[in-house]
Structure 1
């Protein structure tokens, strides 16, 4: 012991859950919070790289992925991106160190100095700007942002390989290699057709023991193509796919059980290398050709069975055409309604789980003795342009984004491109859809045009980030337009902007840098960027990309790390409590009530433990970083009696004069669809207010924080329609038909002028949610999914069914009305008076005005849903899902025609409201039986 020297020169180290060596600087930390991978601590000597190693360890724990995993990636693009963002972060942190105290406060906490929400908002905080309290904590420890170039030993955890189930199918085996080329602007001089050589494919499961063949095609940017019904009905839109630049090429067949080799099988394509787009991607699909089946005409036709797919860029991130051998590991899950078994909208990253993935070996030829590099901007634009004038574009330009363009219309738009710039600048997306991306002369003309095109509004520019527009310069133009967004507007669309990062084929892109720049400038934006990225790290297709962005954000926002780390640790504790409850409720007990009581006692005992209590207290709410969750009120915490046993956690908050705040933690459900729906409701509320119509919407907080995990904000002083009805009746079956229950409930909580105000709040909010639920096609609207606040505001919760995906039972639709408008709602609106009064006429006018406002912004709603197509939401998988919005908003019709349609729906909702009451009765009876 005496040989150890001073205590300050040594410290403990462990291997944490992220498989990273973590140095335990804070000796007051509990081991249950450190969570070492093994119960072993190592005493080490402090060295000069301690600060850098400590920062790496913190970032690894924060993003849930050890940085050694990123260090081990043998990809120059990853290394270059990390190096570039590291230099930028160092520069930013050096500027931060030079700031004055006031400048630092404004840069880091500007959002937290804003006045609190008003009394009408859901968290119950009154607007007391004069009583604003600011608490600042200065951390005395300083962490250097200088990157350590030293290499440290990392711990690698090796997992046993999974069992490969041997599936023996007698199939004739085929391979599809289709090149999906996206957007062109190249001036490479070679006219040689592009080609590649198929070498071999290794099928992990050894499923197939017959021939393998391949087909391929170069294709341009993604389009929404039409599918015709087999019986000759009109065309409908299919999933996004790439438009072919030339005819597909088919390979020869190959045979073998696990190694399928193509000898001298070269795929050539009818397009010149000089016409390949900069953002060209090669889309490959592997499929089996099953035994041929006889058709009615007597001919045999093979049946195709999809096996795997993979995409890769043809130009690398430096713009150099790929050459040589490449091994691609394929994906085995195919999206629904995929045409030709290709997935051009899918990721360009190969499957990281290489042990269980089909490996495909291809070879790109060398066309010239030297590398072929996509030409820089100045050489691209030197080709020049011509100006032509025509008329007749207005009807085409006013169509919604889902409308298709025929070839004649595309030619007209391209011919009149300068007229479009002068008279229809917002028509840029349609112009881009009209470009012939297989002609580099047209690409040069477009590039010249982009430089003089008027800047679009940020809302219009969002559409240019869709998969349909993968051109680098187009996306840079779109990001340039987004720079005009305020922080509030950027927060509104941040969810979509994170999702469209999936469409970026290279890590170093304009959108990534834009998001990092704005996130590091405004901590609230950084907070939600962090959680939107971290919540999807479990998805292999984006795991590396999102990890790199998270690492870049953390290195450029070092003071924010501890705040986020506290939230991550708190969520980990809540997950443990939830698992404890699920385990307790799974046990067989004689008395369900006794079992519930014991489980709740176990939950409260767990929350009282110092390790849990301290971790869960004094954290900034992930739902709203402006709110401090101060102290857990253990006595009022509980769990909800639904399948996933969500936790209802209550906090005392010193800044709210004794008021409490509640959050719900759910583990086991995907909350991203709820999060999207609430975002759109928030947008609707904003659009209505911009038109001077406040419909008292309650867009409560909802945030996905991980794989099937997330938080929901508890709305204060509110109860469900079901509970209000059941407490007013002794018989559950009759409760739904008691039209006085809701009005009496409001009268008990409001009197005099307060009652009049509450009924006005109810009328406005009911109108808003009637229109919103109709436009969004929100289903499963039973009486436990509709709530009312004591102040009168009605609001909906739980959005598991949207875009017209209504529930049915035994093949019969349970919901037969376009939206919920029951007679007890009308009873409240009319203050108990019979017959349709002036109050009801005002309510109907609110609905119609709100509907017309949303119609005027129909393109924006379509764009936002289209940007979420690759998010993997269960009820938003193809453009046909978004078609519901076009129908509900009556896009393509006049305002008079649309209003007539809405009025018919309104009358239908009133006329068929009895069916809603029957459904609610059944729900109340079932709920009463469960209790």
Structure 2
């Protein structure tokens, strides 16, 4: 519904597409041309200083990179006698300098995202004798803007054919601490081995990032920013080659392999129940790979089989493709395991995406956070998430907020900005207007929460009362707005008297929204700042998956799993379950020794359910939900459990809140782990 012209830069928030524009570069090149013409026209006072100064300025705008060719050309130009008889030598030196500058512009525009390219590309040196059997090698020339130059040849004891297509080369800059004399990492950078399906070659400029922001979990193509150069730029010279990545053909050779015995097949089935490569020993992996021809969707898991491959050389990858081609997926969710970082291959992940496309929208929503994370690895052309966003407002809505939140990942910010821009372009005018209103709502809530938190205790209530006027004015302006927690929840205002804050460290807000859909009943949510809600989102997501497994097996554990959404760095929304209270409040109503009384909860249920049938239903809900949450908290290792983060509804459903500590990561009180 949006026919307006648009610019991609308008969608990329806070992102300058080009630090150096074509106009700026052309301007300084014209100065260089003028100084060269003046050098040859002024025979009486001929000087090369001005030409060299403009050449230095060109290097300055090109991230202060001075290549060896430019250095050599400048030295040669200075050495030529500036007399009429040596005009030919002067011309040769200037031509050499101009060619060196052209090569630098070409290298710069090839290494970074620019809006210019040379009209004619400088001729590359002759190709080196590089083959798949050659060792990976390159020359580190310099980290520009650091007063040190190296010409160090680095040879890896690795053959190129043994490296996957998506191999990442990571380089760290080391320095010696003058005080401690210890060697420390100062900066780092990385680059793909096969950019654009061709082995990396020629001179490459790489922006270096401070070590304090080094990611220790993953190095992926999405982390390699080529948008603008940083203050320190590394120049690396790779051998010139036209070696391209040749995709191996699927081939699964069974040879003369004897058919495994029944016991062996049972053993393979037992191994498949492991569900994780990390839990398989080397011996177990060798068994799976050896009998890969006898593995199928009935007795094994494809991620386990392919993950057990011994290497990523072309022969092994060809055999992996053979297994992949014949495999029949029993469940599309099995393909999720192929999107992990254990499988650095586009074709394997593309096949996984084809299977995931068979998921319904409801199933896709359950795993959308993980699919957003693996977008760091997926190709840009794999736009199945965008396609689904056009089919479902629920998918579009959740994808929007996941991408907004993912921009807090410093190394992938630009990557996610581009994905978000693509979503906004696809969404159309009406949906983008909804997104804008929701963003404004979150900004207002953030401002209110910060002011309430900063206020002194005596003035906090008054501050909240005054600041809530901002929300009132917001709804007077927009009339209605969808809640980021769920696009099906449309609200038209707030009930100020029902709004409050909690007295915990972060002073989260309780906001009571007036529903625009249902005449009676408000929608209560909590807005928190200072807490990273992504972990809560993950725990609640796992619990929903566990509950769906129970329901598929015909076991309804009466689980209540509320909604939670991280809307930015250390902030987000939490759904409040209606008619629920904490176990602590129930105990307090029974007096000082309420927690010690055996019948405290029983009396509370009788109070809310005077009829025997209603009471028995509440007790049933309590038993089942209590059992379900006991299993959940045990398996997930949820810690820091106390009566303030265990809640009961009037209908008898028990549930837990606040998952800041899980997987056994407990706080300690003295020597006691909570």
TM band (smaller chain): 0.7 to 0.9
User: What's the secondary structure of 2:154's corresponding residue?
Assistant: strand
Confirm or deny: 8 A CA contact 1:200 1:259 kept in the other structure. no
Query: Which of 230, 238, 251 is residue 364 of structure 1 equivalent to?
Result: 238
Confirm or deny: 8 A CA contact 1:310 1:348 kept in the other structure. no
Query: Which of 432, 453, 461 is residue 335 of structure 2 equivalent to?
Result: 461
Q: Does 1:381 align with 2:228?
A: no
CA distance in 2, matches of 1:641, 1:616: 31
Q: Does 1:796 align with 2:656?
A: yes
Q: Does 1:312 align with 2:182?
A: no
CA distance in 2, matches of 1:741, 1:423: 51
TM superposition shift of 1:614: 2.7
| Partner in structure 2 of residue 323 of structure 1 | 202
| Partner in structure 1 of residue 530 of structure 2 | 668
CA distance in 2, matches of 1:281, 1:662: 47
The residue correspondences of 1:138-153 to structure 2 (distance < 5 A) are none
User: What's the secondary structure of 1:535's corresponding residue?
Assistant: helix
The residue correspondences of 1:441-452 to structure 2 (distance < 5 A) are 441-452=315-326
CA distance in 2, matches of 1:480, 1:50: 31
Q: Which runs of 5+ in 2 are unaligned?
A: 23-129
| Partner in structure 2 of residue 634 of structure 1 | 496
Query: Which of 429, 439, 452 is residue 581 of structure 1 equivalent to?
Result: 452
User: What's the secondary structure of 2:617's corresponding residue?
Assistant: helix
User: What's the secondary structure of 2:642's corresponding residue?
Assistant: coil
Confirm or deny: 8 A CA contact 1:275 1:440 kept in the other structure. yes
Q: 1:429 to 1:492 in 2, by over 3 A?
A: same
User: What's the secondary structure of 2:409's corresponding residue?
Assistant: coil
Q: 1:660 to 1:343 in 2, by over 3 A?
A: closer
User: C-alpha offsets along residues 822-862 of structure 1, whole Å, 9 cap, x if unaligned?
Assistant: xxxxxxxxxxxxxxxxxxxxxxxxxxxxxxxxxxxxxxxxx
User: C-alpha offsets along residues 55-97 of structure 1, whole Å, 9 cap, x if unaligned?
Assistant: 869x63xx7x15x63476999xxxxxxxxxxxxxxxxxxxxxx
| Partner in structure 2 of residue 648 of structure 1 | 510
Q: 1:743 to 1:398 in 2, by over 3 A?
A: closer
| Partner in structure 1 of residue 467 of structure 2 | 603
Q: Does 1:194 align with 2:81?
A: no
Confirm or deny: 8 A CA contact 1:647 1:665 kept in the other structure. yes
User: C-alpha offsets along residues 597-639 of structure 1, whole Å, 9 cap, x if unaligned?
Assistant: 422332344444x2x3435751111111112112211221122
Q: Does 1:711 align with 2:573?
A: yes
The residue correspondences of 1:670-689 to structure 2 (distance < 5 A) are 670-689=532-551
Q: Does 1:744 align with 2:570?
A: no
User: C-alpha offsets along residues 407-449 of structure 1, whole Å, 9 cap, x if unaligned?
Assistant: 554444333221124863x432233223243531222232233
| Partner in structure 1 of residue 387 of structure 2 | 517
User: C-alpha offsets along residues 274-295 of structure 1, whole Å, 9 cap, x if unaligned?
Assistant: 44321111122344567999xx
Q: Does 1:552 align with 2:414?
A: no
Query: Which of 254, 260, 284 is residue 171 of structure 2 equivalent to?
Result: 284
| Partner in structure 1 of residue 628 of structure 2 | 768
Q: Which has the higher contact order (CA 8 A, sep 6+)?
A: 1
TM superposition shift of 1:548: 1.1
CA distance in 2, matches of 1:289, 1:343: 26
CA distance in 2, matches of 1:615, 1:271: 64
Q: Does 1:721 align with 2:674?
A: no
CA distance in 1, matches of 2:315, 2:666: 49
| Worse-superposed segment, 310-319 or 772-781 | 310-319
CA distance in 1, matches of 2:654, 2:478: 31
| Partner in structure 2 of residue 333 of structure 1 | 212
CA distance in 1, matches of 2:227, 2:8: 23
The residue correspondences of 1:206-245 to structure 2 (distance < 5 A) are none
CA distance in 1, matches of 2:309, 2:195: 23
User: What's the secondary structure of 1:603's corresponding residue?
Assistant: helix
CA distance in 2, matches of 1:479, 1:50: 31
| Partner in structure 2 of residue 502 of structure 1 | 376
User: C-alpha offsets along residues 314-365 of structure 1, whole Å, 9 cap, x if unaligned?
Assistant: 11144553432222322423779x6xxx96479632497965x654332222
CA distance in 2, matches of 1:668, 1:742: 34
TM superposition shift of 1:273: 3.1
| Partner in structure 1 of residue 160 of structure 2 | 273
CA distance in 2, matches of 1:470, 1:410: 18
Query: Which of 294, 297, 300 is residue 419 of structure 1 equivalent to?
Result: 294
TM superposition shift of 1:386: 4.5
CA distance in 2, matches of 1:560, 1:788: 37
| Partner in structure 1 of residue 123 of structure 2 | none
Q: Does 1:261 align with 2:125?
A: no
Confirm or deny: 8 A CA contact 1:647 1:666 kept in the other structure. yes
Confirm or deny: 8 A CA contact 1:329 1:359 kept in the other structure. yes
TM superposition shift of 1:739: 3.2
TM superposition shift of 1:307: 3.6
Confirm or deny: 8 A CA contact 2:438 2:484 kept in the other structure. yes
Q: 1:765 to 1:50 in 2, by over 3 A?
A: closer
Q: Does 1:399 align with 2:269?
A: no
Higher helix share: 2
CA distance in 1, matches of 2:468, 2:281: 65
TM superposition shift of 1:814: 4.2
TM-score by length of 1: 0.56
Confirm or deny: 8 A CA contact 1:313 1:348 kept in the other structure. no
CA distance in 1, matches of 2:557, 2:166: 45
User: C-alpha offsets along residues 734-768 of structure 1, whole Å, 9 cap, x if unaligned?
Assistant: 34323333222222111111111111111111111
CA distance in 2, matches of 1:445, 1:74: 48
User: C-alpha offsets along residues 513-572 of structure 1, whole Å, 9 cap, x if unaligned?
Assistant: 121111222111111011001112132211111111111111112031111111111111
CA distance in 2, matches of 1:672, 1:563: 23
The residue correspondences of 1:92-103 to structure 2 (distance < 5 A) are none
Confirm or deny: 8 A CA contact 1:311 1:350 kept in the other structure. no
| Partner in structure 2 of residue 51 of structure 1 | 4
CA distance in 1, matches of 2:496, 2:20: 45
| Partner in structure 1 of residue 639 of structure 2 | 779
Q: Which runs of 5+ in 1 are unaligned?
A: 1-48, 76-187, 204-257, 294-301, 586-591, 816-931
Q: 1:277 to 1:742 in 2, by over 3 A?
A: same
Confirm or deny: 8 A CA contact 1:323 1:363 kept in the other structure. yes
CA distance in 2, matches of 1:712, 1:759: 27
Confirm or deny: 8 A CA contact 1:330 1:350 kept in the other structure. no
TM superposition shift of 1:785: 0.5
The residue correspondences of 1:556-575 to structure 2 (distance < 5 A) are 556-558=426-428, 559-575=430-446
Confirm or deny: 8 A CA contact 2:222 2:415 kept in the other structure. no
Q: 1:631 to 1:360 in 2, by over 3 A?
A: same
